[in-house]
Amino acid sequence: MKHFFVDTNVLLDLLGKREPFGALAAQLLDMAVNREVTLYVSALSFSHIDYTLRKVMAAPERLYKIARLASVLTIIPIDRTVIEAVLNLGFTDFEDGLQYCAARTVPTIAAIVTRDPKGFASGTLSILTPAAALAQLSS
């Protein structure tokens, strides 16, 4: 089974129904529900999701969707070790660095799934778009 880290932008595509990207994110999440892939996310993503969606979604619906996501995804904590790793790697975008270093704490993660590959260019993990991740899982 493949193990992928999912960047916040992919989850926002899903929950915000940002098409055409939301449909790809939904397919990826469906595969996780069906145990065809294990998807990881950092704890940081949940605060970003809540902050972004509060502008367009009422609290009960937003929190319900966040809870459903949390029940499907494996959540990676952000701690001192992750923060120090970001500072040592020299990521220019600190938030992307946090996501990357959180993903690196799980040895089985094969790639980061994102629509912003430039944000992770200085890392060594493979970077996949949602479409490329789905293609890899289908092959």
CB atoms closer than 10 angstroms to residue 85: 17
Q: Which domain does 110 fall in, by range?
A: 2-137
Which amino acid would we find at residue 10? Answer: V
Q: What is the pLDDT of residue 4?
A: 98
6-38: pLDDT as tens digits = 999 999 999 988 888 889 999 999 999 999 999
CA distances from 36 to 32, 47, 54, 136 (A): 6, 27, 31, 12
127-136: pLDDT as tens digits = 999 999 999 9
Q: What is the pLDDT of residue 117?
A: 87
67-95: pLDDT as tens digits = 999 999 999 999 999 999 999 987 888 99
Residue 43 has pLDDT above 90, yes or no: yes
Domain containing residue 129: CATH number: 3.40.50.1010
Q: What is the pLDDT of residue 87?
A: 92
Q: What is the pLDDT of residue 118?
A: 85
Calpha distance 20→14 (Å, rounded): 10
Reading the block at residue 123, the tokens are 């890392």
Instruction: Please confirm whether the linkage preceding 20 is cis (ω < 30° from 0).
Output: yes
Structural domain count, the chain:
1
Reading the block at residue 20, the tokens are 């055409």
Q: Is the pTM of this model over 0.85?
A: yes
Q: What is the pLDDT of residue 131?
A: 96
Q: What is the pLDDT of residue 123?
A: 78
